[in-house]
Amino acid sequence: MRQVAVIGAGMTRFGKHIDRSMKDLAREAIEGALRSAGVDKEAVEAAAVGNAVAGLITGQECIRGQVVLREMGIGGIPVINTENACASASTAFHLAWLYVASGMYDVVLAVGMEKLFHADKKRTFQAIGSGIDVETAEEFARQMSGEQSAGAGESRSVFMDYYANLARQHMARYGTTREQFARIAAKNHTNGSLNPHAQFQTPRTMADVLATPMIADPLTRMMCSPIGDGAAAVLVTSAEKARQLTAKPVFVRASALGSSQRHSEGEAGIVTKVARKAYDMAGIGPQDVQVIEVHDATAPAELLVYEELGLCGVGEGGKLVDDGVTALGGRFPVNPSGGLLAKGHPVGATGVAQIAEIFWQLRGEAGKRQVPGARVGLTENGGGVIDGENAAAAIHIFTV
């Protein structure tokens, strides 16, 4: 397998883009990536395009990547469409990496795109909620929400109930507090205030977060990722070609993708398993990572990922928060972009947006949110839920 590098990244601001089509959003992100890389669209030899719910929101199925790329003059090349819930874009990147690593192509585009806003908000929540086993959907909703079930899947995503349930379990077992979850949300909103691509750009305090309406106990609104539209793109090349095109390539040291499976109680879950695989591929451990983007669909989700990635022991995530370890300036800065909580979560775009952030961080191009001297970065992106864990999980490790 060849060494692979990222040489360009682009993305839209995430947010409510009612008057913009997915073609328009994707065009902005792709043109930004090409401009960043200093190459023309004619150089692209293949593309992998991630999207989760266009079929349910707009009706566009089957050829989502082709209709978007052809509109902007990119055609004739292989275009792979990836749908893997919230991990759709990171799955697209995994395929782009594999195309280049295998030696099949030298320049490949990875794109993530989504439009979630719809006049009928119930339609949006139902589309997001399709990322579970639909044959057991009623049982899933009942187990997750209990007495809070009213509104799940209609006025809020059923995943908020899922994460609220995990949060309550963690609080009961380890003494984790809602204040610790609020600190994560405040951290990410404050980081988002430094990111021009973020959906929310207002600094927040723990008190601000706790004062917002309750969505699913213990989650207040600011502890939950918002609905959003947007797109992100990166350009992937062989390391040899990257060195010809830029003085600042960012190398892909690991690209690991996995899916949930039956396992015994106490056995490591999918995120931990994929993380171990990624660390092995990269030849590093969690202690070597200097900047991290994780799938904070809710504030408790970020805390759980601290433990799954090995940044701390099981049950110790709250202490990391209290000690400022994951804040900008801490030992493991997590979600300097603002994460899903503030940057936003157009689900099919999220994975590549995380990679774009790490690309900018490792090149020293992240502006006011820059992690000084960062040379090793990691992204963690989950998608869907089956039997209490992510249906898909993708972890990527990058270095300069």
**DSSP secondary structure code for residue 59 in this structure:** -
| Bridge partner list, 292 | 334, 378
Query: Which of 86, 94, 170, 312 is the catalytic position?
Result: 86
* Local structure of 152: helix, strand or coil: strand
345 catalytically annotated: yes
Q: What is the DSSP string of 335-361?
A: -TT-HHHHT---TTTHHHHHHHHHHHH
DSSP per-residue codes, 193-209: TT-TT-S------HHHH
Which member of 170, 189, 345, 396 is catalytic?
Answer: 345
Alpha carbons 127 and 53: distance in angstroms, whole number: 6
Please check whether residue 360 is in contact with residue 9, taking contact to mean a CB–CB distance below 8 angstroms: yes
Beta strands in the chain (DSSP E): 4-11, 46-50, 79-82, 107-114, 214-216, 219-220, 230-238, 250-259, 291-293, 376-386, 389-399
**ω before 213 within 30° of 0 (cis)?**
no
Determine the Cα–Cα distance for residues 253 and 377; give it in Å rounded to an integer: 10
Q: Round to whole Å and give the CA distance between 355 and 342.
A: 16
> Quick one: tokens of 340?
């899903």
Active-site annotation holds for 86: yes
Amino acid identity, position 166: L
3-state SS of 223-275 is HECCCCEEEEEEEEEEHHHHHHHCCCCEEEEEEEEEECCCCCCCCCCHHHHHH
> Phi/psi class of residue 388: alpha, beta or left (left: φ > 0; alpha: ψ in -120 to 50)?
left
Alpha carbons 347 and 86: distance in angstroms, whole number: 5
Question: Which residues carry out catalysis?
Answer: 86, 345
